[in-house]
Amino acid sequence: MAGQGAFGVKHLEAIQRIEGVEVVSLAGGSAESTRAVAERFSIPHWTLDLGEALARPGVEAAILATPTQMHTAQAIQCLEAGKHVQVEIPMADSLADAERLADVAAKSGRVAMAGHTRRFNPSHQWIHRKIQAGELKLQQMDVQTYFFRRTNLNALGQPRSWTDHLLWHHAAHTVDLFHHQTGETCSVARGVQGPMHPELGIAMDMSIQMKVPSGAVCTLSLSFNNDGPLGTFFRYICDNGTYIARYDDLVDGREQPIDVSQVDVSMNGIELQDREFFAAIREGREPNSSVAQVLPAYRTLDVIEKSLL
């Protein structure tokens, strides 16, 4: 495991519930916090050097939950060391890096997966299966991604050593999910953004429109200025019902709960994502959310970035 922050901990908690997987090394960014997380999860070795962790005896795979700006280089480092790799979203913060990683992954013979968790949340899986079965046809996705992050803090409210990004991180979830649910790639994608934060150097508000060739549309609103309910909320407007997904939970358009507890073996999207990674390694197959599968989303993000006003 690389990354001792909020999402590294989420993965470590998930792995505790998965049989046959042992975390033998934790590579972190600061000695004090890395040591503390290693002790908490009884990880026998910790280091501040990813290369040292990859060289540990028995290491077959790595999960990268490190700062965004490190993702591409570290994922390539893992693949070139002969290790399978799952890199947290976003796998890159530019199209050039995403394509470079995809090229290395294709030649590596190893499982290379990106952490696009929305593909695995039971709520979105339930919708996906209905669409695949022909029971639903998606007409519009209306998505709100809202946080209150006017200072550089992580998901645990702790100071962050890197700057998050509405487009290349948070929009990446929805762009890929829209592709995944429709089975198509955007034919129209554009966006506008609000003023840049004077210290963080990023836009704090953004609005994105997308459309796929079949006619389904997606409207995505993102903000780091929202002082209210936090997270991402998806409204699926379909030909046969409206559904609202809040992470792993699902309700219909009238807020009546839908039981998704039997959709998969867990109600935890991160755990299901990690299970898919390990299963793909064992079975020698391409995983759902492989680097190759999500690459079209990064091409769409590049189109949106070039359209921003």
pLDDT at 153: 65
CA distances from 210 to 2, 175, 186 (A): 34, 8, 6
pLDDT at 201: 85
Instruction: State pTM to two decimals.
Output: 0.94
Instruction: Flag whether pLDDT at 150 surpasses 90.
Output: no
Exposure b/e, 26-41, CB count within 10 A at least 16 = b: bbbbeeeebeebbeeb
What strands lie across the sheet with 188-193, from one edge to the other? 188-193, 205-211, 217-223, 138-146, 231-238, 241-246, 249-252
Q: What distance lies between CA 98 and its chain's CA centroid?
A: 14
Q: Cα separation of 47 and 45, whole Å? A: 7
Per residue in 245-298, pLDDT tens? 998 999 999 999 999 999 999 999 999 999 999 999 999 999 999 999 999 999
Range in 154-158, 175-179, 262-266, 285-289 the model is least confident about: 154-158
Please report the domains of the chain, with CATH numbers, ordered by start residue.
6-115 (3.40.50.720), 118-252+288-307 (3.30.360.10)
Q: Cα separation of 7 and 89, whole Å? A: 10
pLDDT at 165: 85
Residue 7 falls in which region: left (phi positive, over 0), alpha (psi -120 to 50) or beta: alpha
| pLDDT classification of 157: cutoffs 50, 70, 90 | low
What strands lie across the sheet with 112-115, from one edge to the other? 61-64, 84-88, 112-115
pLDDT at 230: 87
Per residue in 11-68, pLDDT tens? 999 999 999 999 999 999 999 999 999 999 999 999 999 999 999 999 999 999 999 9
pLDDT at 198: 87
Q: What distance lies between CA 43 and its chain's CA centroid?
A: 24
Residues 6+ apart with CB under 8 A from 309: 192, 193
Length of the chain: 309
Q: Cα separation of 139 and 181, whole Å? A: 11
